[in-house]
Chain A
Amino acid sequence: MSDFLSPNLVVFAATIAAAFLSFYLGTGRVRKQAIASQTKSHSLNQYYGFYVSLWVLVPAILLALIWMFAADPMLTSAAKARMLAAYPNLPDSFLNLKMAQLVNIAAGYIKAPDAVMAAQADLLRAAQASADRARSLTLAAVMCIGFFYAFRRVSPELRARVLCEAFLRRLFFLSAVVAILTTIGIVASLLFEAVRFFREVSLFDFFFGTHWSPMTALRPGDAAAADEFVAGSTGSFGMVPVMAGTLLVAVIAMAVAVPIGLFSAIYTSEFASRRVRNIVKPTLEVLAGVPTVVYGFFAALTAAPFFRDLGLFVGLDVSSQSALAAGGVMGIMIIPFISSLSDDVITAVPQSLRDGAYGLGSTRGETIIRVVLPAAFPGLVGAFLLAISRAIGETMIVVMAAGVAANMTINPLESVTTVTVQIVMLLTGDNEFDSVKTLSAFALGMTLFVITLLLNVAALTASRRLGQRYE
């Protein structure tokens, strides 16, 4: 067998072929039976084909999935047992290295260094081959059983369409469940690590502590214990300065994005002709497609020096990593977000309200300020809240342009740090994954998640209220 036709590929192709074959056999059978019994079949012929091929495919796919999760670990543990017998004196960590080597030798990526390894690799290959054979046979058997079960049930009376529809419904439901379970899984892992963190650091210290330096500093009273800990495994974990920095950057971002975004939305929805709108709106939305890391360059290399020079010019001391630069660029990033959502919301305000206002002798400005914007208000609030949660969760710009020092300040000219920056700092590089320092990242992540979740829920509620009003 050539490299191209790996056993897996052959099995896969055979399964697909079997599905197609069963489709034709299924439709053929119902057609013949309908002619023979002079009846009209319940569903279109193709549904009988789908019905049979579903019975062939679905059990096969399920089996393959189970096999994938069950067989490989079994093969590996058997091989490890053999290796243990072959190298009885090797420590565990070396054995694991040897195992990795063995898998590569068996796959043919590298040559065996000695006869023992070669023999072991042969054994593993043989085991894999027999496992593959067993899998192919089992698959074939399962497909045959499925096929004959479904094929025998095919008759003009069978409600094949209903059964296929029911399958589709379950498939879609399953997809939805997978998405939800993944979310729950992510949140659960976050929660689990956060709980481990809070076993070490009290909730009060974390949420109300005003000193954040997880890398170096020691908690008061820990000085005695300092010798016993490796440097960096203790620190002070008060998230207030970090959260303050996050809010400061978000507020600056919103201060930039809300006026520009809202006003451009008013322009595109109320003033621009169709032609101009068709140019301006997509162009604004292109901004949303710029990768955030590019905004990061812009913030670090252009905006920050600009603000510093500007500060020097007017005699202000602006840090080279100022909250102003990071927040300003982040604001530019969320402009399209706000303008696009606000444009939709403003356009959704019924024309009849504008007509009513014009009919009373309102000017365009009065109509927009006194009637259209108040009517759109809940939806606009929703758009802003979504934008805030984007700003708070944004990472790349602040990593590149905001600082890492957790200053407790509301001065936008100083360097601040944000939750996302701290998470990046804590989790990149060489870290053991169970130190308090690392765990604190999960607590920060959890806090961030809860905040953005609440903002999103509030945004949805607000937009829904607008929707109901004009039903």
Chain B
Amino acid sequence: MDTVVDMAKAIKIQAKDVNVFYGEKQALNNVSIDIEDRSVTAFIGPSGCGKSTFLRCFNRMNDVIPSCRVKGSIMMGDVDVNSPQTDPVLLRARIGMVFQKPNPFPKTIFENVAYGPRIHGLAQSKTELDDMVEDSLKKAGLWGEVADRLADQATGLSGGQQQRLCIARAIAVGPDVLLMDEPCSALDPIATSVIEELISELQQRFTILIVTHSMQQAARVSQKTAYFHLGTLVEYGDTKDVFTLPKNEQTEAYISGKIG
């Protein structure tokens, strides 16, 4: 039964032969992967295996690093993410990103969420903007906690709240895809479980790619898991298969804690 459902899921992003270089050093080696629509795909692997680098390929965040070069194609629908003709500004409006450390801007809570709609000119009026902010905060599960203090400084929120604010900020632009780079690594267990629940809810609307160091987290939130080692994609499959019946020895060694 499960396989039938999985088969029914459309492919959202198709990466083919992605190679990434930092100067002379090759960080990713011929990575090809199909990402399913409206699902959570987890990238796991030891530090320095290239999983974050790969995640940053999807919204061209590697452009920011001067020495970094990306080769290969990443197709999202009919958009070639990596093509020089693709405008990273428009691309990033379709692919939101949440970072390792919560990074709210030193503005008010409202202004943080309104930032994306403002720079992309999404709201025609103040009421529309208000609605967008409220809607995004609700989707990020933060509305109830901040509804009465939208004018407070965002930096005054707790770490977990700040991270959910960053999720709301990303959602407000109206993306299809959310990239999450170890979103819980700076948070305590309670805040982490709140975010994990949120990820499961968001999955119904967004395609989510998440890099995580915690294998339990990957097992809890994701449907698909990709294991990276030294810049290569070692194993990719349904999460429950990867964790219970890994096909590759390296994957097994990693998830059983022998390497890491």
Within 8 A of B (CB), among A341-368: 350, 352-363, 366
| Residue B119 lies at the interface, judged by CB distance under 8 Å to chain A | yes
- Asked if A360 and B103 sit within 8 Å, CB to CB, the answer is no
Pick from A361, A363, A370, A469: contact of B173, CB under 8 Å? A361
Residue interface bits A396-421, CB-to-B below 8 A is 1, else 0: 00000000000000000000000000
List A contacts of B93 (CB < 8 A). Answer: 360-361
List A contacts of B99 (CB < 8 A). Answer: 352, 355-356, 359
| Residue A175 lies at the interface, judged by CB distance under 8 Å to chain B | no
Within 8 A of A (CB), among B99-121: 99, 101, 103-107, 115-116, 119-120
| Residue B217 lies at the interface, judged by CB distance under 8 Å to chain A | no
- Asked if A370 and B61 sit within 8 Å, CB to CB, the answer is no
Looking at the assembled complex, report how far the CB atom of B70 sits from the nearest CB atom of chain A, in whole angstroms.
15
Given A352-B101, A355-B61, A362–B96 Cβ distance below 8 Å? Answer: no
Given A359-B97, A361-B90, A361-B93, A370–B155 Cβ distance below 8 Å? Answer: no
- Asked if A357 and B105 sit within 8 Å, CB to CB, the answer is yes
- Asked if A371 and B173 sit within 8 Å, CB to CB, the answer is no
| Residue B40 lies at the interface, judged by CB distance under 8 Å to chain A | no
- Asked if A356 and B166 sit within 8 Å, CB to CB, the answer is yes
Residue interface bits A263-288, CB-to-B below 8 A is 1, else 0: 00000000001000000000000000
- Residues of B in contact, count (CB < 8 Å): 28
Alpha-carbon gap, A390 to B155, bound state (A) = 34
Given A273-B66, A360-B173, A361-B116, A355–B89 Cβ distance below 8 Å? Answer: no
| Residue B1 lies at the interface, judged by CB distance under 8 Å to chain A | no
List A contacts of B64 (CB < 8 A). Answer: 354-355, 358
List B contacts of A469 (CB < 8 A). Answer: 106, 155
List A contacts of B115 (CB < 8 A). Answer: 357, 360, 370
Q: Which of B89, B97, B103, B120 has the most CB of A within 10 A?
A: B103
- Residues of A in contact, count (CB < 8 Å): 20
Looking at the assembled complex, report how far the CB atom of B134 sits from the nearest CB atom of chain A, in whole angstroms.
18
- Asked if B119 and A361 sit within 8 Å, CB to CB, the answer is yes
List B contacts of A353 (CB < 8 A). Answer: 103, 105-106
| Residue A108 lies at the interface, judged by CB distance under 8 Å to chain B | no
| Residue B59 lies at the interface, judged by CB distance under 8 Å to chain A | yes
List A contacts of B88 (CB < 8 A). Answer: 361
Alpha-carbon gap, A370 to B173, bound state (A) = 16
| Residue B170 lies at the interface, judged by CB distance under 8 Å to chain A | yes
- Asked if A360 and B116 sit within 8 Å, CB to CB, the answer is yes
List B contacts of A375 (CB < 8 A). Answer: 105-106
Alpha-carbon gap, A356 to B119, bound state (A) = 13
| Residue B224 lies at the interface, judged by CB distance under 8 Å to chain A | no
| Residue B92 lies at the interface, judged by CB distance under 8 Å to chain A | yes
Given A358-B64, A359-B97, A360-B115, A352–B103 Cβ distance below 8 Å? Answer: yes
| Residue A374 lies at the interface, judged by CB distance under 8 Å to chain B | yes
Looking at the assembled complex, report how far the CB atom of B251 sits from the nearest CB atom of chain A, in whole angstroms.
30
List B contacts of A361 (CB < 8 A). Answer: 88-93, 116, 119-120, 173
Looking at the assembled complex, report how far the CB atom of A439 sits from the nearest CB atom of chain B, in whole angstroms.
49
Given A356-B105, A359-B61, A366–B119 Cβ distance below 8 Å? Answer: yes
Residue interface bits A69-113, CB-to-B below 8 A is 1, else 0: 000000000000000000000000000000000000000000000
Given A273-B66, A353-B103, A353-B105, A358–B61 Cβ distance below 8 Å? Answer: yes
Alpha-carbon gap, A375 to B90, bound state (A) = 25
Residue interface bits A441-471, CB-to-B below 8 A is 1, else 0: 0000000000000000000000000000100
- Closest A-chain residue to B100, C-beta based? A352
- Closest B-chain residue to A466, C-beta based? B106
New A-B contacts (20) at CB < 8 Å, excluding given A359-B61, A359-B170, A360-B97:
A352-B101, A353-B105, A355-B64, A355-B103, A356-B99, A356-B104, A357-B115, A359-B92, A359-B96, A359-B97, A360-B115, A360-B170, A360-B173, A361-B89, A361-B90, A361-B92, A361-B93, A362-B89, A375-B106, A469-B106
A-B pairs with the 10 shortest C-beta distances? A361-B92, A359-B97, A352-B103, A361-B93, A356-B103, A360-B116, A375-B106, A361-B89, A366-B119, A371-B105
Can you pick out 15 interface pairs between chain A and chain B where the beta carbons lie within 8 Å of each other?
A: A352-B99, A355-B97, A356-B99, A356-B169, A357-B105, A358-B61, A359-B61, A359-B96, A360-B93, A360-B115, A361-B119, A361-B173, A370-B119, A375-B105, A469-B106
